[in-house]
Amino acid sequence: MNARRATQLVPPAETPALSPYAIFLQEIIAKTGKRASAIAKELHLPESTLTRHLPKPDGTAKPRTPRTMHAETIAKLEQFSGIVAPSALTRGGGNAEMLDRREIARVASDAIKLNTGANDDIDLAGGLRALVGNRLHAEAWELRSASLECVGYLPGDLLIVDRNAVARDGDVVCVNYCPWGRAGHAETLMRIYRDAGGMRFVIGATFDPALQDPLPIDNDRAVVMGVVTHSVRIARRRR
């Protein structure tokens, strides 16, 4: 009697689903119309940082596609595209590479630099020039955030920053902040300078929790550019 050999059916391998990082990247590519390699170049990232997340031509995930993305890369992509990453990508969820969203919130500039020699408001321009005087190292900035509201500085206040002044504990300082290192995009922060036994950092004086975290002054990502020496509050701007 011939026994028939049983045929064992092997189920097809399951196609891995696209990761949320790949979907996030595809949304950015669709919005900007730029290839992943071009986006990586603009953000000063290795091409593979983004291209390895791209799916195969048929839209399915490549084998061994990374299931994580560095938090700084996510923050750069958000800033570049204007698309906010899903909260699941930034919460952490056990992934040590994820970054607290408060760190991303700190990236926005607190102030914008003013040109004291070219201002539509003649009185304002004259007042700023009088405060700056002949100091080539002094600059005028307009505060745009509530980072110093608890010490009396409000959005719209004009601040004179002396680049030659040496910061002391308790001073209001202007900080150049590059969250991704000197090669990345820089923002300007206005904060309270603290020197606690050689530990130098700046903090916000505000009710906004996103601006309260201390930021170490390491002369790499965060550098003190100068000390605020004067401030001006305009009751009403001319129109």
- Structural domain of residue 95, as residue ranges? 20-99
119 shares its domain with 156: yes
Strand partners, 207: none
Q: What is the pLDDT along the chain (239 residues), one digit of tens a residue?
A: 455 554 555 445 555 567 788 888 888 898 888 999 999 888 888 888 888 888 888 777 787 777 777 777 787 888 788 887 766 554 443 333 333 333 433 446 777 877 655 444 545 666 666 677 676 788 888 898 899 999 999 998 889 899 999 999 999 999 988 876 555 567 889 999 999 877 899 999 999 887 888 889 988 888 999 999 988 887 655 54
Per-residue pLDDT reduced to its tens digit, 181-220: 555 567 889 999 999 877 899 999 999 887 888 889 988 8
Please give the pLDDT value at position 53. 86
In the structure encoding, which two tokens stand for residue 49, read together? 């940082």
- Return left, alpha or beta for 180; rule: phi > 0 is left, psi -120 to 50 is alpha, else beta: alpha
Last residue of a domain, one of 70, 99, 128: 99
Residue 238 located in a structural domain = no
The reported pLDDT for the residue numbered 89 is: 59
Claim to verify: residue 144 and residue 171 sit in the same structural domain: yes
- Check if the beta carbon of residue 215 is closer than 8 Å to that of residue 200: no
Amino acid letter, residue 95: N
Is there a contact between 111 and 174 (Cβ–Cβ < 8 Å)? yes
Residues 6+ apart with CB under 8 A from 34: 42
CA dist., res. 103 & res. 114, Å (int):
27
> What single string gives the DSSP state of each residue in 24-53?
HHHHHHHHH---HHHHHHHTT--HHHHHTT
Residues 122 and 217 in one domain: yes
Enter the DSSP assignment of 98.
-
Paired with 201 in beta bridges are: 194, 216
Give the separation between CA 98 and CA 87, rounded to whole angstroms: 11
Query: How confident is the model at residue 100, as a pLDDT?
Result: 37
Distance between CA atoms of residues 18 and 82, nearest Å: 22
pLDDT of residue 126: 61
- DSSP for 172-214, written as a single string: EEEEEE-TT-TTS--EEEEEEEEEETTEEEEE--SS-GGG-S-
Give the end of a domain, one of 64, 99, 134: 99
C-beta neighbour count of 96 within 10 angstroms? 7
Is the distance from CB of 185 to CB of 109 less than 8 angstroms? no
Instruction: Based on the fold, state whether residues 134 and 178 are members of the same structural domain.
Output: yes
| Domain at 91, CATH number | 1.10.260
